[in-house]
C-alpha cells in the first residue's frame, strides 16, 4: 500500500484538485487502496495564523474569515454536482462556525496560547481534507474522511508536538483495519495529546503525518506530491542550472532539507528510514517527472556532492574568553540553555583552542540568545572570563551535501577555491562529523553568487558560465563578439563552457542585462535598448550584479577605464584587456594592479598588450616563473611599422601603405601612435616591467623615424598630408636600404637594464630580415636559451588575431575558476 501526501498547492485550486484526482485514479488501479494525506489549501495556514494574531490584538479578522470560507465553497461548487454539494457545505459551515467561535474567544481574551493556536490551525487541514475527500467520493465511493487527531498521538508540546510512536502505531493500525478496503483521506499536520487536545507537528508536518502512517502500516512507498520537480542540486530560483536529483539517501535528503530545500520536512525521514520505506517526491503538475527517490542503498553517483543547500537569513553569535578553556561543562550549559528556550542552533563551530564558540541562529533568535547568555553567564562576564557575546547579522549559510564526500579528497579545497576566486568571504565553517555536509557562513549579499559559483565548480558536466562585461565595440570588440558567437557551441560541447556577455558599452551607449545579451544581434539590442553610456554607472551595475566567474574586458584604447581597474579587482572581478594604457602608465599603478589582483584572488590578463595574440607575455611569465634569467630581449613589436616596411618596396608610396595598414586594422585608432613609436614604447615598457624592471616611460629611449612636421601634425588628416609632403624622406630611406641589399626594421632591445627602440637596416643574415605582413618577432636570450634564443614570430596586429588573444585570455581566466 502506498501513502500519497499532497501539499497545499496540490489542493489549492480547482485545477490542482482535478490533477490530484487523476493521480489517484491511476493509483487506484493498484491492488491496495492508497492512503491520502492532505495539507491545508495553499496559504491557508498562514492566513489562519494571521487571523489568530489579529484576534489576539483585538483587531478585526472577519473579512479574512469570510474569504477563507468562500474559497472552499467555490471549489465545492465547481467540482461537485449540485445534488452532492449540500452535506459538504453544511459540514464545512460547521467547521467555520467553530473556528469563528474560537477566534471570538481569542479576541475576547486578547490572548493566544500555543494550544489555542494549534486548534485554530487544525481547521485548515480539516476543511481541505473533508472537502477533497467528498469530491473524490464521486469517483471513488470508498473514500472515507479521517481526522488524524483520532490516531496520531503526541505529547503536549503545542506547536511542535512529539509523537508517541507506540500508541500512534497501535491506533493507526486499528483504524486502518476497521476501515479495510477504504480509501482513507487523512488530515496532515494535526494530532492530539493524552487529554485529546489538538496539537500540531510543526510547519511542514503533513509530510511527517505521511511518514508516521507509512511506518505504522509498513507502506511500500511514501509519495510526497508537491509543485516542484523533486529535490534539486540547488534552489532553482537562485541557480538556473539546478537539476532534479533522481536518488538520495535518507541522510543526504535530511541534510539537504535541513538547510533550506523546503521540498520535504526533515523529521519525515526518520520513520521512513527506520522502516526502510522509500520516499518519493513527485510533482502534481508534471506527472511525467519520475520523482526524486529517497531510499536505502541509493546509488552514490559519480558526483562527489549531491546538492547545495542554503539558508538566506542567519545571524551568528560569537562567544570568546578564557573562561571556556578546559571547562568541560561550558558548551553543555550553553546549548542546553538555548535548547530549553527553543532557540534552534543551525550550526556550531568551536576553535581547537576552545577559546571561542560561534553558533548560527535565526536573526530573530540572536538577540534573545545574547540576553539569555548574559543572564546565564553573568558571573563569568563580570569576572571577565567571558567577553560580551557578539552578534553578526546579514549572513547566510551555504552547505554542500553528499555521502560521497567522505571518500573523495579535495572537496573542501574545491569549495573554498570557488568561494575565494569569487571574493566570497567566509565568516565561519562547520563540517558535520559525519562528513556528509560542509557548511560555510557568508554574507547574505554574496549568497546567490556563491551558490552559482559552487554549483559550477562541482557540476563540471554542466556548462560552466563565464560572465563578461565588455567595454569597446570597435575593431577588436566587434570581432571578439563575432568569434564568441561562432565558437560558443563548440565550447559548450567540448569544454563545458559558456561565455555570457552580461554587459556592453561604447562611448555612446551601454546595456547590462541579467539574462545576458544575445550575440546574434548585440548591436541592434545595444542601440535600441541601451541607455546613454556612463562608465561609472556601468562598473557600479556590474559590481552590483555580483555574478560568479565574472570578468571585465576592456577593449578600448582609452585612458578612462583604467582608474576603475583597482575597484574592479577589489570586487573580485578579473580584468582582461588589450588596452595598453593601464600597464604603460606609472610603474606604481602597474604594481598596484598586480598586487590588488593577487590579493583578491583574481586575474589580470593582457596578453594582447604585446604582439597581439602571439604568446609573448605568457612566454615571458613562464620563463620568469621557472627561474630563468632574461639576458636580452630583441623584438619588432609594431605590426603597423612591420607591415609598412614589408610593403614599402619598388614604386610603393609611403603614405598609401600607412593608409592600407590602417584599413587592415593594424594601426591604433590614431595611427600617429604607431608611427611615432609610442605604441612600441608602451610594449617595451610592459615587457621590461614584466621582466622585473621598475621602468617608467622615460627609461625607454626611442629613435624617432619621422620628420618633425609629421610628428607635430595636429590631426590624423594633417598627419597623412605631412607623410605625403615628406615622401622624398621615406623614399630616400628605402633606396639607401635597397642599395645595400638591406631592409628597414624598427627594433626594440632590452639589455643590461636599458631599453631602446631604434631604426635599423639589416641584411639577410639578421634573424629579423625575413618578415612579412604585419609580423612581429621577439627573441629571448636567457640563461637557458643562451646559444640559440627562444623566438616567437607571427602576425602581431589585426582584429582577428587580437580578438583571438583576448578570447584566449577570457578562457584562461575561466579555466582557473574551475
Ligand atoms: N588593432 C590591433 O591589432 C591591436 C589593438 N590592440 C588594442 O585594442 C584596443 C582597441 O582597438 P580598436 O578596437 O582598434 O579601437 P576602436 O577605436 O576601433 O574601438 C574602441 C572602442 O572603445 C570604445 N570606447 C572608447 N572609450 C570608451 C569609454 N570610455 N567607455 C566605453 N567605451 C569606450 C569606443 O566607443 C569604441 O567602441 C586598443 O587599445 C589597441 O591598442 C591591441 C593589440 C592589437
Ligand atoms: N597598432 C598595433 C597593434 C597591436 O598592438 C601595432 O601596429 O602593432
Ligand atoms: Na601577445
Give me the residues paired with residue 64 across strands: none
Question: Any idea which residues carry the catalytic annotation?
Answer: 683
- Does the pLDDT of residue 328 top 80, yes or no? no
pLDDT of residue 433: 54
Nearest Cα residue to atom 2 of ligand 2: 667
Identify the DSSP state of 266: G
Pairing of strands 292-294, 247-248: parallel
- Does the pLDDT of residue 765 top 90, yes or no? yes
Nearest Cα residue to atom 42 of ligand 1: 578
Neighbours of 544 (CB within 10 A): 11
Ligand 1 mutation target, pool 669, 797, 804, most atoms within 8 A of CB: 669
Q: How confident is the model at residue 302 (pLDDT cuts 50, 70, 90)?
A: low
| Secondary structure in 3-state letters for 528-582 | HHCEECCHHHHHHHHHHHCCCCEEEEECCCCCCCHHHHHHHHHCCCEEEECCCHH
The ligand 1 atom at the shortest distance from the C-alpha of residue 561 is 29
pLDDT of residue 342: 85
pLDDT of residue 551: 97
Tell me what the mean pLDDT of segment 17-26 comes to.
96
pLDDT, tens only, 48-79 = 999 999 999 999 999 999 999 999 999 999 99
pLDDT, tens only, 660-712 = 999 999 999 999 999 999 999 999 999 999 999 999 999 999 999 999 999 99
Nearest Cα residue to atom 4 of ligand 2: 797
Tell me what the mean pLDDT of segment 128-136 comes to.
98
Separation CA 290–CA 203 (nearest Å): 26
pLDDT of residue 409: 82
Q: What is the signed CA dihedral for 50, 397, 424, 505, rounded to 10 degrees?
A: -40
From ligand 3's centre to the CA of 614, what distance in Å?
4
Tell me what the mean pLDDT of segment 543-550 comes to.
93
CB-ligand 1 contact for 563 (6 Å cutoff): no
pLDDT of residue 442: 96
Three-state secondary structure call for residue 596: helix
Q: If we measure between CA atoms, which residue out of 508, 534, 511, 538 comes closest to residue 522?
A: 511
DSSP-derived secondary structure for 459-491: -TTSPEEEEEEEE--SHHHHHHHHHHHHHHHHH
Q: Is the dihedral of CA 319, 320, 323, 326 positive or negative?
A: positive
Residue 405 contacts by C-beta under 8 Å, 6 or more apart in sequence? 304, 305, 411, 435, 436, 438
From ligand 1's centre to the CA of 717, what distance in Å?
19
Complex ipTM: 0.98
CB-ligand 1 contact for 552 (6 Å cutoff): no
Judged by average pLDDT, the poorest of 152-161, 349-358, 476-485, 752-761 is 349-358
pLDDT of residue 52: 97
Tell me what the mean pLDDT of segment 250-259 comes to.
83
pLDDT of residue 203: 80
Q: What is the mean pLDDT of the chain?
A: 93
| Secondary structure in 3-state letters for 34-94 | CEEEECCCCCHHHHHHHHHHHHHCCCCCHHHHHHHHHHHHHHHHHHCCHHHHHHHHHHHHH
- Does the pLDDT of residue 432 top 90, yes or no? no
The answer to whether 81 and 139 are in contact (CB under 8 A) is no
Tell me what the mean pLDDT of segment 368-377 comes to.
94
φ and ψ of 390, to 5 deg:
-115, 140
Q: Is the dihedral of CA 769, 770, 772, 774 positive or negative?
A: negative
The answer to whether 277 and 222 are in contact (CB under 8 A) is yes
Q: How confident is the model at residue 353 (pLDDT cuts 50, 70, 90)?
A: low
pLDDT of residue 352: 66
Judged by average pLDDT, the poorest of 15-29, 291-305, 444-458, 592-606 is 291-305
- Does the pLDDT of residue 397 top 90, yes or no? yes
Please give the helix or strand (H or E) that residue 690 lies within, else none.
helix 678-690
Three cell numbers, residue 276: 526502510
Ligand 1 mutation target, pool 538, 557, 798, 802, most atoms within 8 A of CB: 557
Tell me what the mean pLDDT of segment 273-294 comes to.
94
Tell me what the mean pLDDT of segment 391-403 comes to.
93
Separation CA 698–CA 677 (nearest Å): 13
Q: Any idea which ligand is nearest the CA of 579?
A: 1
Tell me what the mean pLDDT of segment 522-540 comes to.
98
Three cell numbers, residue 112: 493566544
Helix, strand, coil abundance in the chain, percent, nearest 5: 45, 20, 35
Contacts 24+ apart (CB under 8 A), 538-543: 538/469, 538/471, 538/503, 538/505, 538/510, 538/512, 539/564, 539/567, 539/568, 541/503, 541/512, 542/469, 542/502, 542/503, 542/512, 542/568, 542/573, 543/567, 543/568, 543/571, 543/573
Q: If we measure between CA atoms, which residue out of 220, 272, 278, 280 comes closest to residue 1?
A: 220
The answer to whether 132 and 20 are in contact (CB under 8 A) is yes
Phi-psi region for residue 230, left (φ > 0), alpha (ψ -120 to 50) or beta?
Answer: left
Ligand 2 mutation target, pool 668, 677, 678, 686, most atoms within 8 A of CB: 668
Tell me what the mean pLDDT of segment 621-634 comes to.
96
Tell me what the mean pLDDT of segment 603-619 comes to.
97
The answer to whether 589 and 567 are in contact (CB under 8 A) is no
Q: How confident is the model at residue 406 (pLDDT cuts 50, 70, 90)?
A: confident
Tell me what the mean pLDDT of segment 441-451 comes to.
95
- Does the pLDDT of residue 572 top 70, yes or no? yes
From ligand 2's centre to the CA of 506, what distance in Å?
21
Identify the DSSP state of 787: S
CB-ligand 2 contact for 797 (6 Å cutoff): yes
Convert 639-675 to b/e letters by CB count within 10 Å (16 or more is b).
Answer: bbbbbbbbbbeeeeebbebbeebbebbbbbebbbbbb
C-alpha dist (Å) from residue 321 to 366, 386, 558: 19, 4, 55
Identify the DSSP state of 693: -
- Does the pLDDT of residue 455 top 80, yes or no? yes
- Does the pLDDT of residue 461 top 80, yes or no? no
The ligand 2 atom at the shortest distance from the C-alpha of residue 610 is 5
CB-ligand 1 contact for 731 (6 Å cutoff): no
Amino acid at each position: 500500500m502506498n501513502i500519497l501526501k499532497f501539499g497545499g498547492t496540490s489542493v489549492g485550486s480547482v485545477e490542482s484538485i482535478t490533477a490530484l484526482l487523476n493521480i489517484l485514479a491511476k493509483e487506484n488501479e493498484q491492488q491496495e487502496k492508497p492512503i491520502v494525506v492532505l495539507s491545508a489549501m495553499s496559504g491557508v495556514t498562514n492566513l489562519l495564523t494571521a487571523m489568530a494574531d489579529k484576534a489576539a490584538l483585538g483587531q478585526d479578522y472577519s473579512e479574512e474569515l469570510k474569504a477563507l470560507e468562500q474559497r472552499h465553497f467555490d471549489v465545492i461548487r465547481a467540482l461537485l454536482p449540485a445534488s452532492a454539494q449540500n452535506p459538504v457545505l453544511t459540514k464545512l459551515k460547521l467547521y467555520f462556525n467553530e473556528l469563528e467561535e474560537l477566534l471570538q474567544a481569542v479576541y475576547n481574551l486578547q490572548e493566544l496560547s500555543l494550544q489555542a493556536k494549534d486548534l485554530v490551525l487544525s481547521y485548515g487541514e480539516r476543511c481541505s481534507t473533508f472537502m477533497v475527500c467528498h469530491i473524490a467520493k464521486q469517483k471513488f465511493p470508498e473514500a472515507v474522511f479521517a481526522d488524524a487527531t483520532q490516531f496520531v498521538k503526541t505529547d503536549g508540546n503545542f506547536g511542535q508536538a512529539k509523537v508517541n510512536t507506540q500508541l500512534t502505531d497501535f491506533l493507526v493500525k486499528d483504524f486502518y483495519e476497521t476501515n479495510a478496503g477504504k480509501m482513507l483521506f487523512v488530515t496532515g499536520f494535526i494530532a492530539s495529546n493524552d487529554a485529546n487536545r489538538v496539537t500540531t507537528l510543526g510547519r511542514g508536518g503533513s509530510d511527517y503525518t505521511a511518514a508516521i502512517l507509512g511506518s505504522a502500516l509498513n507502506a511500500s512507498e511514501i509519495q510526497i506530491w508537491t509543485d516542484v520537480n523533486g529535490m534539486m542540486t540547488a534552489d532553482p530560483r537562485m541557480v538556473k542550472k539546478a537539476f532534479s536529483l533522481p536518488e538520495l539517501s535518507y541522510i543526504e535528503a535530511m541534510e539537504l532539507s535541513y538547510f533550506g530545500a523546503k521540498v520535504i520536512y526533515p523529521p519525515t525521514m526518520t520513520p521512513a528510514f527506520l522502516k526502510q520505506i522509500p520516499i518519493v517526491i513527485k510533482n502534481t503538475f508534471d506527472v511525467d517527472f519520475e520523482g526524486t527517490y529517497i531510499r536505502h542503498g541509493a546509488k552514490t553517483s559519480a558526483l562527489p556532492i549531491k546538492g547545495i543547500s542554503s539558508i538566506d537569513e542567519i545571524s551568528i553569535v560569537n562567544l570568546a574568553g578564557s573562561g571556556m578553556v578546559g571547562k568541560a561543562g561550558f558548551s553543555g550549559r550553553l546549548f542546553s540553555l538555548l535548547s530549553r528556550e527553543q532557540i534552534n542552533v543551525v550550526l556550531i563551530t568551536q576553535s581547537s583552542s576552545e577559546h571561542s564558540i560561534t553558533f548560527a541562529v535565526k536573526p530573530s533568535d540572536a538577540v534573545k540568545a545574547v540576553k539569555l547568555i548574559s543572564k546565564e553567564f553573568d558571573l563569568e562576564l563580570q569576572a571577565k572570563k567571558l567577553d560580551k557575546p557578539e552578534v553578526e547579522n546579514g549572513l547566510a549559510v551555504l552547505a554542500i551535501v553528499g555521502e560521497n564526500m567522505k571518500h573523495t579528497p579535495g572537496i573542501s579545497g574545491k569549495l573554498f577555491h570557488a568561494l575565494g576566486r569569487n571574493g566570497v568571504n567566509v565568516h565561519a565553517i562547520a563540517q558535520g562529523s559525519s562528513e556528509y555536509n560542509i557548511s560555510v557562513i557568508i554574507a547574505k549579499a554574496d549568497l546567490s553568487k556563491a551558490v552559482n559559483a559552487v554549483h559550477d565548480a562541482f557540476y563540471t558536466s554542466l556548462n560552466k558560465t563565464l560572465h563578461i562585461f565588455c567595454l569597446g565595440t570597435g575593431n577588436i570588440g566587434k570581432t571578439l563578439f563575432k568569434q564568441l558567437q561562432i565558437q560558443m557551441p563548440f565550447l559548450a560541447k567540448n569544454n563545458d563552457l559558456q561565455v555570457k556577455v552580461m554587459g556592453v558599452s561604447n562611448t555612446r551607449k551601454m546595456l547590462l542585462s541579467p539574462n545576458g545579451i544575445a550575440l546574434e544581434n548585440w548591436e541592434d539590442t545595444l542601440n535600441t535598448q541601451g541607455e546613454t553610456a556612463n562608465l561609472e554607472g556601468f562598473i557600479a551595475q556590474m559590481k552590483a550584479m555580483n555574478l560568479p566567474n565574472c570578468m571585465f574586458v576592456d577593449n578600448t584604447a582609452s585612458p578612462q577605464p583604467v582608474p576603475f581597474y583597482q575597484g574592479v579587482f577589489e570586487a573580485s572581478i578579473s580584468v582582461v584587456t588589450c588596452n595598453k594604457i593601464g600597464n604603460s602608465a606609472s610603474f606604481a599603478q602597474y604594481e598596484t594592479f598586480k598586487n590588488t589582483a593577487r590579493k583578491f584572488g583574481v586575474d589580470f590578463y593582457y596578453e594582447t598588450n604585446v604582439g597581439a595574440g602571439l604568446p609573448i607575455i605568457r612566454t615571458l611569465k613562464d620563463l620568469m616563473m621557472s627561474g630563468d634569467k632574461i639576458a636580452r630581449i630583441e623584438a619588432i613589436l609594431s605590426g603597423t611599422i612591420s607591415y609598412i616596411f614589408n610593403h614599402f618596396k619598388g614604386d610603393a608610396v609611403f603614405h598609401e601603405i600607412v593608409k592600407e595598414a590602417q584599413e587592415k586594422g593594424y594601426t591604433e585608432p590614431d595611427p600617429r601612435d604607431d608611427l611615432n613609436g609610442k605604441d612600441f614604447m608602451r610594449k617595451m615598457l610592459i615587457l621590461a616591467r614584466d621582466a622585473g624592471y621598475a621602468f617608467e616611460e622615460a627609461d625607454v629611449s626611442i629613435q624617432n623615424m619621422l620628420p618633425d612636421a609629421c610628428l607635430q601634425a595636429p590631426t590624423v588628416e594633417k598627419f597623412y598630408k605631412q607623410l605625403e609632403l615628406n615622401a622624398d624622406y621615406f623614399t630616400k630611406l628605402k633606396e639607401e636600404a635597397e642599395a645595400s641589399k638591406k631592409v628597414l626594421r624598427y627594433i626594440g632591445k632590452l639589455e643590461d637594464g636599458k631599453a631602446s627602440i631604434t631604426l635599423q637596416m639589416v641584411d639577410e643574415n639578421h634573424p629579423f630580415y625575413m618578415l612579412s605582413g604585419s609580423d612581429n618577432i621577439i627573441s629571448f636570450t636567457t640563461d637557458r636559451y643562451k646559444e640559440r634564443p627562444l623566438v616567437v614570430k607571427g602576425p602581431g596586429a589585426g582584429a582577428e588575431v587580437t580578438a583571438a588573444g583576448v578570447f584566449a585570455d577570457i578562457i584562461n581566466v575561466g579555466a582557473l575558476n574551475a
